Structure 1
Amino acid sequence: MSQTTSGRRVTAADIARSLGLSRATVGFVLNDTPGQTISEATRTRVLDEAKRLGYRPHIAARALASGRTRIVLLVLPDWPLDFNLRRNIEEASLALDEAGYALITYTPHPTGHARPLWETLQPDVVLAMAPWAPGQVESIRAAGVTCIIPDPEAPPQAEWHEEGPALQVDHLAALGHRRIAFAGSADPRIADLVALRRHLALEAAATLELPAVPTADIDLTDASAESVLAEWRAAGVTAVVAYNDDVAAAFVGAAQREGIAVPGELSVVGHDDTPLASMLEPRLTTVRVDTVGLGRFLAQLALAAVEDRPEPTVGPDLRVAIVERASTAAASLGA
């Protein structure tokens, strides 16, 4: 008899009956109950028979008995699912899987017609990658979830990538560029992230006493980079700090179509060090973010909330760094 052929879920009672053991003994083995004096031979017999019969644990019953579902729900903002975000999720999922937890992602939408997954799944932890929207924390708590990250009662934490824009500006200034512009994305879904990096780039330029930094947000689907670049070149701009590698690539392409040499006449620095940065010609100078480390950091935050583990810290290994390639060079004399 098997779960597949019989059409009925195989239970611990089926295993006990097949082996002539008590239901309690089989339950202790299947649940790995501590403090029991069950021989290794009996334990092996139970596990082998469970496998032969096609036994699968009843998740709801196990959760009820243990008080855990071993599910971590990651609430995503309505951002484009770009390379770095995918790597964050993949690494967090792998790290949680290694600890016996499943990671499920969920993107709430403004319409709010669907029932929130924290009500349906009853996860052990609800983890967010952006500040909580109004009403979300109350809804999560009403569903019985007590582990919420970030803690809505705690002071907000600094962004992990907050040093990136300063590194971009510092790199260009060290090459002698004085007229630097900031290029963002016009995608409304990431307006807050663009605004943050723009603010930090302007702040870094002011610290270095550079001239006022012109800024513009471009749409990657049209020719807006060409018109913005023409205005900036007329104003004497010799270098562009880009919100990310996609925006940087748009300006490199616009410059090449207009016959502007990169980096001879225009230096461009991206952010995120995506595969595009090393495939583009010239290869992009950019800011590297440890997506693997950040994904595992997220997983460690979740595990620390539900298990007896110390909270992780953001160490030097998670800090961003400039990766110098061929899209930036020393400013021309007189620039």
Structure 2
Amino acid sequence: MERRATSSDVAKTAGVSRATVSYVLNGRTGQSISAATRNRVLAAARELGYTPSTAARTLRRGRSDLVLMLLPPEPLGRALAMIIDAASEQVERNGLRLVAHRVPSRGGAVPLVQSLAPAALILIAPLPDAEIAAVQAAGITVVSLPQTAGDPLAPDLGIGAMQVKHLVESGHERIGVAVPPESGYAWRVKVRLAAIRDACARYGLPAPAVERLGLEAAEAAAAVERWLEGEQRVSAVCAFDDDHAFAVLSGLSVHGLQAPRDLAVIGAEDIPLAGLAVPPLTTVSVDARRLGEHFAQAALASASGAGEDGAALAVAGPPAVSLILRASA
């Protein structure tokens, strides 16, 4: 078997020290290495087919070249997929790799973090305070969304608040909410409902009428019937996402009803089919790509040494949600 090239071979070929090879190939900053020397090292590494040992580098640094993103235990929707794609592209452009992993169902996240020794941890899903503290104690920076109800950068909080704001400004005083069944989206449903309830309270509206339904016309039709019966009938519905908004529109159709005449409907995420609904769906768009880029930038700042090891960083930047006004609400 042909011997694998080592950093000593690269140093000998380039006429430099092993330390210089390490500085150049590992992207270490703060060293006065000339462009000519850097180019000689890179050329020698290419000629010899040398790549730094990931295992050795991890042992030396105490962390890997990975950025770990922990996801909630739910189906991978369009917005979440876009967050992952955008963050992955940004991280890889800077020489690291993104690993997206659902929060382990047993044993907690700490063993996973310990085994990967990531340069930074991005939290899309919540972790118990004790686990976050353990990760930070290991010197790993934790990047997360700000959990402030008025902050539109927390998408599920911002979506709920914006949905209610639009409906109130359109004259609605009694609001319903369509969310998925308990399984699958428990964390996001909890956050979204909290945002909608808080917004209703701020506007002096009664508590929203919540219906849990799958993506079936019969379930949606039954929910529509409950929303529209009695003296406390609902005049508008905030859907968990555009899929559930489509289900509500289908439920209206079963009864020969139509949005917004009989029941206004507002969705979330602005999927490509939203404009093709009958009527076209008013929804809240999530700038998922920008959010993913903000996550990556914060993680990269930590990995480069710009931030304090073991810090807790809340992503900051421009709003990630906006109203897409169409005909359904």
Could you state the TM-score of these two structures normalised by the residue count of structure 1? Answer: 0.79
Shift of 1:46: 4.2
Q: Which amino acid aligns with 1:275?
A: P
Shift of 1:107: 1.6
Q: CA–CA distance in 2 between the matches of 1:313 and 1:107?
A: 20
Q: Is 1:285 matched up with 2:288?
A: no
Q: CA–CA distance in 1 between the matches of 2:165 and 2:23?
A: 62
Partner residue of 1:274? 271
Which residue of 313, 316, 319 maps to 1:314?
Answer: 316
Which residue of 241, 246, 269 maps to 2:243?
Answer: 246
Shift of 1:86: 0.9
Q: Is 1:71 matched up with 2:69?
A: no
Q: CA–CA distance in 1 between the matches of 2:208 and 2:27?
A: 63
Shift of 1:57: 1.5
Q: CA–CA distance in 1 between the matches of 2:126 and 2:191?
A: 14
Which residue of 243, 250, 255 maps to 1:258?
Answer: 255
Shift of 1:227: 0.7
Partner residue of 1:205? 200
Partner residue of 1:165? 160
RMSD of aligned alpha carbons = 3.3
Q: Which amino acid aligns with 2:327?
A: A
Shift of 1:248: 0.9
Q: Which amino acid aligns with 1:274?
A: I
Quick check: 2:121–2:141 contact (8 Å CA) kept in 1? yes
Quick check: 1:108–1:116 contact (8 Å CA) kept in 2? no
Q: Which amino acid aligns with 1:259?
A: G
Q: CA–CA distance in 2 between the matches of 1:229 and 1:37?
A: 69
Quick check: 1:187–1:219 contact (8 Å CA) kept in 2? no
Partner residue of 1:323? 324
Q: CA–CA distance in 1 between the matches of 2:298 and 2:106?
A: 30
Q: Percent identity?
A: 34
Which residue of 138, 141, 148 maps to 1:147?
Answer: 141
Shift of 1:21: 4.3
Unaligned runs of 5+ in 2: none
Quick check: 1:84–1:274 contact (8 Å CA) kept in 2? no
Which residue of 99, 102, 106 maps to 1:104?
Answer: 99
User: Structure 1 residues 135, 173: closer, same or farther in 2, change over 3 A?
Assistant: closer
Q: CA–CA distance in 2 between the matches of 1:20 and 1:149?
A: 39
SS of residue paired to 2:185: helix
Q: Deviations over 1:178-223 (max 9, x none)?
A: 3321222114232232233223323333433445532211122573
Unaligned runs of 5+ in 1: 1-5, 329-335
Q: CA–CA distance in 2 between the matches of 1:131 and 1:206?
A: 25
SS of residue paired to 2:99: strand
Q: CA–CA distance in 2 between the matches of 1:200 and 1:39?
A: 53
Which residue of 114, 120, 127 maps to 2:122?
Answer: 127
User: Structure 1 residues 44, 134: closer, same or farther in 2, change over 3 A?
Assistant: closer
Shift of 1:81: 0.8
Q: Which amino acid aligns with 2:74?
A: W
Q: Is 1:294 matched up with 2:291?
A: yes
Quick check: 2:298–2:315 contact (8 Å CA) kept in 1? no
For CA contacts below 8 A with separation 6 or more, give which structure has more relative contact order: 2
Could you state the TM-score of these two structures normalised by the residue count of structure 2? Answer: 0.80
Q: CA–CA distance in 1 between the matches of 2:100 and 2:70?
A: 6
Shift of 1:54: 2.0
Quick check: 2:179–2:240 contact (8 Å CA) kept in 1? yes
Q: Deviations over 1:253-308 (max 9, x none)?
A: 22123321223322100122233423433221011222122112212222333422
Q: Deviations over 1:297-329 (max 9, x none)?
A: 2122223334226977634x224221111212x
Quick check: 1:225–1:250 contact (8 Å CA) kept in 2? yes
User: Structure 1 residues 133, 167: closer, same or farther in 2, change over 3 A?
Assistant: same
Quick check: 1:168–1:241 contact (8 Å CA) kept in 2? yes
Shift of 1:87: 0.9
Shift of 1:240: 1.2
Q: Is 1:93 matched up with 2:91?
A: no
SS of residue paired to 1:273: coil
